[in-house]
Amino acid sequence: MTKKIAVLPGDGIGTEIIEQAVRVLGALKLDLDLETQPVGGAAYDQHGHPLPPVTLELAKKADAILFGAVGDWKYDNLPREHRPEQAILGLRRALGLFANLRPAILYPELANASSLKPEVVAGLDILIVRELTGDIYFGQPRGVRELSDGPFKGDRQGFDTMHYAETEVRRIGHVAFQAARKRGKKLCSVDKANVLETSQFWRDIMIDVAKEYPDVELTHMYVDNAAMQLVRAPKAFDVIVTGNLFGDILSDEAAMLTGSIGMLPSASLNASNQGLYEPSHGSAPDIAGKNIANPLATILSAAMMLRYSLDAAPQADRIEAAVQKVLQQGLRTADIYEAGTTRVSTSEMGDAVLKALE
């Protein structure tokens, strides 16, 4: 059956990197129907909104969304609801994309890109599963209020609310256990259960969900310790599952372990495995239009799309192997270039991946 893919290039380097990922998908000879629509600043320019109805409708009916990046300095003065970045939040909300999967992989060939010692990070391959639609980022009530008692009586106070419903914890738990089952069969749930009620509840639910996955080893870690262990011994992790706030911070930390933002894909999934796939980086306006951006994060995002939303794991494996091959051949875009390797452009990197696929 034909699978529908919404291709949303967005702004900045988005168009350049998506073009290469689309070429790679085309080479696989799968039954895919790709339709492109603008998103972010490009959509604002064309339709007066970063997520116009044509784009939202396409995204809703698609099996998966391949997303470039959005944002540019020239939109900085727009009211918040018209900023390019609102498109991502709108898509997450409209599609219920509650599970964010961020692999942090350091290919052996790029071990020098990390700020950590090669022996600590070479061959790193971990997956962070971050809950994306709950937690203190969305909890109500929130705002600024006047205190009516306590040591700061009469003072103004800013406040947010952290909470997780059982269903929210269970469903992200299942996503994480299933991912762990397909990998190293180790899941570390990260929380702050020594201090937070929300976290103790999270931990209790994870322990319960674990009963359905006897083949996966579940451990727990406090978030402050996890932040330390990620730089001390990151390879000890396989899959990490955590809430929205902790996951935001830890996934950026893990990305930096690899030192190459141009290499990191991501996926955001909902309960029906519909997903939005995008590189972890932004629209890089500083290098846009120069054909020098690294397209590999986007090409690897397309591989994740095949694996998680399109039921095409063998083709995902092929893309990942092709990426590994071009790195072994010594081909590097500017962001990962080092002496002794061959510097290539965005489109040349796409050419090389296509060739490696043959």
Binding site for ligand NAI (CB under 6 A): 13, 17, 69-72, 85, 88, 261-262, 278, 281-287, 293-294, 297, 335
Nearest distance, CB of residue 16 and ligand NAI, angstroms: 9
Told to check if 125 binds Mg ion by CB under 5 A, we report no
* Nearest alpha carbon to residue 84 among 100, 68, 95: 68
Q: Is 23 labelled a binding residue?
A: no
Nearest distance, CB of residue 26 and ligand NAI, angstroms: 20
Buried b (16+ CB within 10 A) or exposed e, 262-290: bbbbbbbbbeeebbbbbbbbbbbbebbee
Q: CA of 355: how far to CAs of 46, 304, 352, in Å?
A: 36, 20, 5
Give me the phi and psi of 142, to 5 degrees please: -150, 160
DSSP label of 334: G
Q: Which does 85 bind (CB under 5 to 8 A by kind): ligand NAI, Mg ion, none?
A: ligand NAI
Q: Is 266 labelled a binding residue?
A: no
Of 71 and 259, the one with the shorter C-beta distance to ligand NAI is: 71
Contact 38, 46 (CB under 8 A): yes
Contact 223, 246 (CB under 8 A): yes
Of 203 and 281, the one with the shorter C-beta distance to ligand NAI is: 281
Distance CA 106, CA 122 (A): 6
Of 253 and 348, the one with the shorter C-beta distance to Mg ion is: 253
How many residues can be counted in the chain? 358
Contact 121, 114 (CB under 8 A): yes
Q: Which residues are catalytic?
A: 137, 192, 224, 248, 252
| Angle at the Cα of 250 from the Cα atoms of 275 and 327, rounded to 5 degrees | 70
Which region, judged by CB under 5 A, interacts with Mg ion, from 19-27, 47-55, 240-248, 305-313? 240-248
Nearest distance, CB of residue 258 and Mg ion, angstroms: 15
22's tokens: 């689309």
Nearest distance, CB of residue 248 and Mg ion, angstroms: 5
Told to check if 248 binds Mg ion by CB under 5 A, we report yes
In terms of phi and psi (left: phi > 0; alpha: psi -120 to 50; beta: otherwise), the region of 100 is beta
Q: Which does 206 bind (CB under 5 to 8 A by kind): Mg ion, ligand NAI, none?
A: none
Q: Which does 248 bind (CB under 5 to 8 A by kind): ligand NAI, Mg ion, none?
A: Mg ion
Nearest distance, CB of residue 105 and ligand NAI, angstroms: 15
Radius of gyration of the chain (CA): 21
Of 254 and 349, the one with the shorter C-beta distance to Mg ion is: 254
Q: Is 252 labelled a binding residue?
A: yes
Of 16 and 191, the one with the shorter C-beta distance to ligand NAI is: 16
353's tokens: 């991946």
Q: Is 102 labelled a binding residue?
A: yes
Told to check if 217 binds Mg ion by CB under 5 A, we report no
Of 205 and 255, the one with the shorter C-beta distance to ligand NAI is: 255
Nearest distance, CB of residue 230 and Mg ion, angstroms: 15
Helix axes 313-328, 346-357, angle to 10 degrees: 120
Q: Is 294 labelled a binding residue?
A: yes
Total binding residues for Mg ion by CB under 5 A?
2
Which region, judged by CB under 5 A, interacts with Mg ion, from 36-44, 231-239, 248-256, 290-298? 248-256
Q: Is 285 labelled a binding residue?
A: yes
Q: Is 289 labelled a binding residue?
A: yes
Residue 331 identity? L
213's tokens: 């996955």
Q: Which residues contact 87 (CB under 8 A, 6 or more apart)?
A: 10, 39, 40, 43, 50, 51, 55, 70
The residues of the shown chain that bind Mg ion, judged by CB under 5 A, are 248, 252
Residues that constitute the known binding site for Mg(2+): 224, 248, 252
Residues that constitute the known binding site: 92, 102, 130, 224, 248, 252, 282-294
Residues that constitute the known binding site for NAD(+): 282-294
